Structure 1
Amino acid sequence: MFNRLKGFTRAFWTANIVELLERGAYYGVFIVITLYLSRILGFTDVEAGLISGVFSGGLYLLPTFTGALADKIGFKNSLLIAFTLLSLGYFGLGILPTALESIGLVDYSGDITFTGLLESSQRWAIVPIMIIIMIGGSFIKSVITGTVAKETTEENRAQGFSIFYMMVNIGAFSGKTIVKPLRDSMGDKGFVYINYFSTAMTLIALIMIIFFYKSSKHQGEGKTFKEIWSALIKVLFNGRLITLILIITGFWMVQHQLYATMPKYVLRMAGEGASPSWYANVNPLIVVLTVTFVTRMMASKTPLFSMTVGMFIMPLSAIAMASGNWFSSGDIDFGIISIHPIAIMMIIGIALQALAESFISPRYLQFFSIQAPKGEEGLYLGFSHLHSFLSSILGFGLSGYLLSKYCPEPKLFETREAWEIASVNAHYIWYYFAAIALTAAISLIIYGKVIDRLDAKANKL
């Protein structure tokens, strides 16, 4: 095993290690970003959802364009820019509350008290900070995968991407895991200090790039911005592809609730002792455990069949998340641990989401490439993640509205009883997402039948 691992270059290992660090930094912050925006900066659920959605959407839309720039200026220069921006951005998220407190807009010394922040425009300084992180992160998505492809051979490329995928999930797992201990020791202020952890991770990555990253990737290669823009226009006017993107957007709108709705929902409904960051780790764990088995099991089936199976799992996931509110409010004692019914059903729902992802994600790119014009698959695949751009904005935006309507912030109410009356139908949130998932699943079946008929007609001509 170790002899096989020796076949990879120093640039390959450096890229994978900094990917682990970057994912740890990103997921540590992103799993609680809506909580940070609401509890630390005082944004409403709707405002927090919109800010987070645009941020997440930009991270999926920009990489195609920043990837073209990376080809021009070189991968090392791109990574230096990326980790510099990320370090500045995460540090900005950490220092902003201190700056707001220093001018008397908020008091973080005990229970967080807003003393003018809710009426001030100063808190919107968060927007340029998040744009900095968004631009930095967009370089990472294209450059790291590009490095893995460039620094491997035909013989070890599959193993190289397997290592990369493992690093991504280790980083995601570790970043989410650290949030709970910070909250236990610091309360809501832990949402601030997680940003210093992320700053440290990206600074270490920056130092590693400076001293250890030497890639054979040369600048000046790859697609031009004109070619990328032309491809985007072609995709937008390709009815078959844009319909597929819109259908898959329904799946990802539900999947994004892992970050948009779940953290606030479980803390409000199951209590402050809940661990949303740990529950979220069920997702990468289940994906890693099932994706290979599911892909092999579906190998003899069409991509559309596998995707449809996954799409019909998603409504069950949302129903499971809703069902926690059907049980009594007391914790269930399992002997070694006691856990709230809402938390239990949330974990089951997240596991079902991950299983659905194992059916859908590996086959989506394959199916998308089949629908792309012959000879232009690579160019079109650059835009295969447009669904994540759309689902981030729509999913986070809808989440903010639904939270404010069915599961509002308890601090907005004078008494616990008043809040309980306002949130009695909190689980309705998940019915909306179950309906979205079911609509997407049925639409995918219709889509498959329509393109089969179109292809049959085309073959007769």
Structure 2
Amino acid sequence: MISFRGFSRNFWVANTLELFERFAFYGSKAVLTIYLAERVGLGAQAAGSLAGLFSGVLYFLPVLAGTVVDRYGFKRSLAACFSIFCVGYFLIGLAGLNFGQSIVAAVGKGPYVFAVLMLTAVGGSLIKPSIVGTVARTSPPDLKSMGYSIYYTLVNIGGALGPILALGVRKNLGIEYVLVMSSITSFFLLLGTLLFFREPERAPDETPPGSFAKVLRDMVMVFGNLRFILFLAVFSGFWIMFWQIFYSLPFYLTESLKFENFELIETVDAWTLILLTVAISALVRRWRPIRAMSAGFAVASCSWLLIALIPRWETVVVAMFVFAVGEGMQAPRFYEYVADLAPREQVGTFMGFAFLPVAIGSIVGGILGGNLV
């Protein structure tokens, strides 16, 4: 049954699940380093390292998780994802709740937080292959690009509204309850999956699921392409800058600038991308990919120099706007350049590893941010 101007009911169900999952993810992500450092008492250095490792693992595991999703289906994978999220977010929040202190103390704060963050990251690795796969299967052939645009727009809306919702919860209930609310949201997403989501049919020409052995062979092959790996390593620098929005910027705003509502500034990047991505893409569409990416990298870098030169919270808002402009210049062309770098017969395999700079940037950025603050 096709409805909603060409898209199936299942398409909208999947995207609605993604939207609310992004509320939960970005809401918890907005406060995670401050929460771990101050409420749990781990300090800024450990908090940054653990938060960076959490997102790094979450963005790396889909290489393997895609095989699991293909083998067991989108519905079961989504149900597993939201079940793990429900438990994981609650256990992270437990470290800040009074009645959870004896449990955390018995394990040790550091080991406890590491374990529950890794559990939650495993669940998170299942969401992207499941939702993107559903979008691919449920979008009519002539509307596929629009389907992906709707998906990415909703991701950015989640990134924009999640921290704002977190601010309200933090102010009225306490920072630990941001994680509890993410857990509750995940529970309702589990119910929504079980009640409304239907397993989309596999297309007749769709590639059958690969094995873990094949994924590992592909990984060895990709890592053997030194030019490609060098490019990914260099481009990880952009994501090191990006993740500072969540890892070091909250400390700078609250401790140095005395601006308590740091979640609001964390949303500037997402709002700018929602409003200006189409215009920015049109501006650089005739540029070669390497030129657009280099210019975007440079513009994004300048945003952090602004913060250093003029230490005011208003400057940080402007800087986050400038950073988003740089992100909008390079992000759409990044995947085009990856496809150009890859051997023609291995484009699909190489594209599967294109998100590795996000993971590398998160891990390195978390360690770096934690040490800087």
Name the CA distance, whole Å, in 2 between partners of 1:122 and 1:165: 36
Report the TM-score, using the length of structure 1 for normalisation: 0.76
Select the residue among 164, 182, 198 that pairs with 2:151.
164
> Per-residue displacement from partner, 1:429-455 (whole Å, max 9, x unpaired)?
xxxxxxxxxxxxxxxxxxxxxxxxxxx
Select the residue among 249, 261, 274 that pairs with 1:288.
274
> Per-residue displacement from partner, 1:380-420 (whole Å, max 9, x unpaired)?
100011111111111110111111xxxxxxxxxxxxxxxxx
Specify the alignment match of 1:297 in structure 2.
283
Name the CA distance, whole Å, in 2 between partners of 1:301 and 1:322: 30
Offset at residue 43 of structure 1 (A): 0.7
Identity of matched residues, %? 27
Contact 2:48 2:366 in 1 (8 A): yes
The number of residues matched between the two structures is: 369
User: Quick check: 123-132 or 360-369, which moved more?
Assistant: 123-132
Specify the alignment match of 2:211 in structure 1.
224
- Aligned amino acid, residue 307 of structure 2: M
- Where in structure 2 are the equivalents of 1:61-460 lying within 5 Å? 61-98=60-97, 103=102, 121-122=108-109, 124-186=111-173, 190-217=174-201, 221-271=208-258, 273-325=259-311, 342-403=312-373
User: Quick check: 119-128 or 131-140, which moved more?
Assistant: 119-128
> Per-residue displacement from partner, 1:198-226 (whole Å, max 9, x unpaired)?
11211111111101111224599332222
Pair 1:17 & 2:23 matched: no
Name the CA distance, whole Å, in 1 between partners of 2:246 and 2:330: 19
Contact 1:72 1:220 in 2 (8 A): no
Offset at residue 123 of structure 1 (A): 5.0
Offset at residue 291 of structure 1 (A): 1.5
User: Quick check: 220-229 or 86-95, which moved more?
Assistant: 220-229
Offset at residue 312 of structure 1 (A): 1.1
- Aligned amino acid, residue 164 of structure 1: Y
Offset at residue 375 of structure 1 (A): 1.6
User: Quick check: 95-104 or 242-251, which moved more?
Assistant: 95-104
User: SS of the counterpart of 2:57?
Assistant: helix
Greater RCO, 1 or 2 (C-alpha within 8 Å, sep 6+) = 2
Looking at CA atoms only, which structure, 1 or 2, has the larger radius of gyration?
Answer: 1
> Per-residue displacement from partner, 1:77-108 (whole Å, max 9, x unpaired)?
10110000001111112223336665399xxx
Name the CA distance, whole Å, in 1 between partners of 2:274 and 2:353: 25
Contact 1:50 1:397 in 2 (8 A): yes
- The two structures, once aligned, show a CA RMSD in angstroms of 2.0
Offset at residue 181 of structure 1 (A): 2.3
> Per-residue displacement from partner, 1:51-84 (whole Å, max 9, x unpaired)?
1111110011001211111100111110110000
Report the TM-score, using the length of structure 2 for normalisation: 0.94
- Aligned amino acid, residue 199 of structure 1: S
User: SS of the counterpart of 1:350?
Assistant: helix
Cα distance change, pair 376–399 in 1 and its aligned pair in 2 (3 A): same
Name the CA distance, whole Å, in 1 between partners of 2:28 and 2:110: 18
Name the CA distance, whole Å, in 2 between partners of 1:85 and 1:61: 17
Name the CA distance, whole Å, in 2 between partners of 1:96 and 1:151: 40
Greater fraction helix: 2
Cα distance change, pair 222–397 in 1 and its aligned pair in 2 (3 A): same
Offset at residue 122 of structure 1 (A): 4.2
Contact 2:86 2:183 in 1 (8 A): yes
